[in-house]
């Protein structure tokens, strides 16, 4: 059974990936900060599917905790086949020159530095074993900046550069690197971005049928299940009535 580690598995796209990969027969290592949500997900998945799940709750910005968690993995959970670098967030919609720097630095620490750290901790083992797949969750926001989103967009542009660079660094190995770039996905993302303003978050998903976490998980599983000679390098996944990060047709 392949073994997949998912960061940010307590919600949204990460949680949907956990379900799809468990259903497809993967064993899972699930990370996020919310221990209770991870425990409920583990119970559900072990009840519904033939899978084994290890919970690895830590804040991905905490390098010492992350290093310790990966170094002390039980033997049967060490040989990770698929790493899904999904933990991430946007905070705020302020102009760059007026933004809250704490929010901006949190995005950079989570979306960029922690993603790089997880790659640094896990990919050397993949190289030693001669197999592995890294799936980074980028965004349409990494393709072009939009007003009020510059730091978030910059982090997702960095995810593209880290994905492309890693693919080049690994091209002489059988290890594959995929950058999945979703558009509008209805998850807890906007609620977090808008600091808990649930009504405003809901409005972003009205008048259009947004993507779901399952839609993104389907593509992640497709990439992970492709024959070994096929590397799905990058995929942009948009809702049908979305043409760019901000060009969205909403029915009145």
Among residues 88, 92, 132, 149, the one that binds ligand NDP under rule CB under 6 A: 88
Which residues have CB under 8 Å from 220's CB, separation 6+? 17, 20, 21, 84, 135, 178, 180
| Contact flag: residue 245 with ligand 8X3 (CB under 6 A) | yes
Q: How many helices (H) and strands (E) does the chain have?
A: 9, 7
Query: Tokens 């993603």 sit at which residue?
Result: 115
CB 24 within 8 A of CB 221: yes
Burial class (CB in 10 A: 0-12, 13-18, 19+), 229: exposed
Measured from the CB atom, the residue of 166 and 204 that comes closer to ligand 8X3 is: 204
Measured from the CB atom, the residue of 66 and 219 that comes closer to ligand 8X3 is: 219
| Contact flag: residue 238 with ligand NDP (CB under 6 A) | no
Catalytic annotation on 146? no
> Which candidate in 152, 205, 222, 249 is catalytic?
152
12 binds, among ligand 8X3, ligand NDP, none (CB under 5 to 8 A by kind): ligand NDP
> Strands, DSSP E only, in 140-211?
176-182
Give every strand in the sheet of 27-30, ordered side by side: 53-55, 27-30, 3-6, 82-85, 133-137, 176-182, 234-237
| Contact flag: residue 163 with ligand 8X3 (CB under 6 A) | no
CA–CA distance, 93 with 199 (Å, rounded to integer) = 16
Piece of 25-33, 133-141, 168-176, 227-235 that binds ligand 8X3 (CB under 6 A): 133-141
CB 133 within 8 A of CB 176: yes
Piece of 39-47, 59-67, 119-127, 223-231 that binds ligand NDP (CB under 6 A): 59-67
| Contact flag: residue 141 with ligand 8X3 (CB under 6 A) | yes
Length of the chain: 252
Q: Binding residues for ligand NDP, how many (CB under 6 A)?
A: 30
Minimum CB–partner distance for residue 142 and ligand 8X3 (Å): 8
Among residues 51, 110, 119, 163, the one that binds ligand NDP under rule CB under 6 A: 110
| Contact flag: residue 60 with ligand NDP (CB under 6 A) | yes
DSSP 3-state of 74? coil
Judged by the rule CB under 6 A, the positions of this chain that interact with ligand 8X3 are 139-141, 149, 245
The residues annotated with a catalytic role in the active site are: 152
Judged by the rule CB under 6 A, the positions of this chain that interact with ligand NDP are 7-14, 32-34, 37, 59-61, 86-89, 110, 137, 139, 182, 184-185, 187-189, 192, 213
């Amino acid at each position: 059974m392949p073994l997949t580690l998912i960061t940010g598995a307590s919600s949204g796209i990460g949680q949907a990936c956990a379900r799809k990969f468990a259903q497809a027969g993967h064993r899972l290592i699930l990370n996020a900060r919310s221990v209770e949500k991870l425990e409920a997900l583990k119970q559900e998945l072990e009840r519904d599917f033939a899978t084994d799940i290890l919970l690895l709750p830590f804040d991905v910005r905490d390098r010492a905790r992350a290093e310790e968690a990966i170094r002390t993995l039980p033997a049967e959970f060490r040989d990770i086949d698929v790493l899904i670098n999904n933990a991430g967030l946007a905070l705020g919609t302020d102009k760059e020159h007026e933004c809250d720097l704490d929010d901006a630095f949190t995005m950079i620490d989570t979306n960029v530095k922690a993603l790089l750290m997880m790659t640094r901790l896990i990919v050397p083992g993949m190289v030693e074993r001669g197999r592995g797949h890294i799936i980074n969750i980028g965004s349409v926001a990494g393709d072009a900046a939009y007003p009020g989103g510059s730091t978030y967009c910059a982090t997702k542009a960095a995810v593209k550069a880290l994905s492309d660079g890693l693919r080049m660094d690994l091209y002489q190995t059988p290890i594959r690197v995929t950058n999945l770039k979703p558009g509008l996905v209805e998850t807890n993302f906007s609620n977090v971005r808008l600091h808990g303003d649930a009504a405003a978050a809901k409005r972003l998903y009205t008048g259009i049928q947004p993507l779901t976490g399952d839609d993104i998980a389907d593509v992640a599983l497709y990439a992970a299940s492709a024959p070994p000679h096929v590397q799905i390098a990058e995929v942009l996944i948009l809702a049908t009535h979305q043409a760019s990060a901000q060009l969205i047709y909403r029915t009145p």
